[in-house]
Structure 1
Amino acid sequence: MTQAKRNSRKAPVERYHHGDLKMALIQAADQILAEHGLEGFSLREAARRAGVSPAAPAHHFGSAAGLLSEVAILGFEELAKHLDVDPSAGTPTQRMRMQGVGYVRFALTYPGRFHLMFRHDLLSHDDAALQAAGDKTLMQLEQTIRAMHSLPSQQSLDTQARAELLAAWSMVHGFAHLALDGKLSQLQAATPSNGLLTDVLPKMLENRWPDA
């Protein structure tokens, strides 16, 4: 065997010992989802892109669900950034509308992650880090709803506030799916570039939650 072939065979092992293999696999999976969606994902392709053996993903994550859960955590972390609105930026109602636009902007920017994050059949149900990331993201919306209703953090959401939280989440989540699935194509054709985020969605949110 030539020296070049020996070095080639050793490369995945050396990357493992360098400690970057796990992140390389997560980045590879994220890239596959961004390019081809959930239908194009496979552990074998993730391993190929990371430059390791097909058995490496299972060694680090146990299963496809384990690896995809790590990508979903990245998604929730990025979504949290899109929901991060300065507390001084207008009234609580105005901030909630900004968060709604941020939610959809995230979905349109990271469609692969967005479709994955809520596919519980593809993720690890017992992943504490995934659960924490999802809860933290939802809490950002909840805190804004609390501010709208003047509810302290230690008090449970009342029926009205809980219904408002679900209504806000459902509206922007559904809007994001319609946009990603091309169901708004006729509307989008008559709307200026990026108009869904700058005109249509803000107006929908304002009609549902107008300024006092």
Structure 2
Amino acid sequence: MDFEIISGDQMKLEDKRAIEEYKIPSIVLMENAAMAFFNQVKDLANEFVIVASTGNNGGDGLAIARHLFLNKKSVKVYMVGKKEKMTKDCKINYDILLKLGIDPIFLDKINDDLKNDIKDKILIDAIFGTGLSRNVEGFYKELIDLINDEAKYIVAVDIASGLNANDGKIMGTCIEADMTITFHKLKKGIDLADPKYKGIIFTKYIGIP
């Protein structure tokens, strides 16, 4: 594994090239990312709570939930966003979870169950990925601020939600991650960010040429 640092925009191009030029299906890259993430966190605890979006970062989170569950970990999954707007790969992983008997809880407001879960379990942040380009507002901001206030320990999937992958700026608010597990190459925004928004960093190979 090299230590090259790339921007979020460059990552998008490398991801696109892997899919279009090398014909690697995007769901394969998502699965590779989930496995790499799982292998890094599996020994941290026996109980996890995952907060995922309906985008591809959320899809990573749902695939991670599956691997944790199949390896006898306790997993609870919360989702934000509209179910009908799930990306294709996110929907694939969502449907697999349903078959396994895991029914993600869709949030439109903060509830006591969520507050209690994030206080005593490892929280996996799979809300926004490296493609975030506008400020976090509304319920998403409220949710991230709650997580920062209440979570015992936070692990970010690829990048802390709310962090700009190109320049490390905070997009309105941002997850204060204790650990970041990023994929393929370290993102410039993570490298430039204040340490409280990234924690310990691991960069994982996911099979992009």
Above 0.5 in TM-score? no
Normalising by structure 2, we get a TM-score of 0.29
Normalising by structure 1, we get a TM-score of 0.29
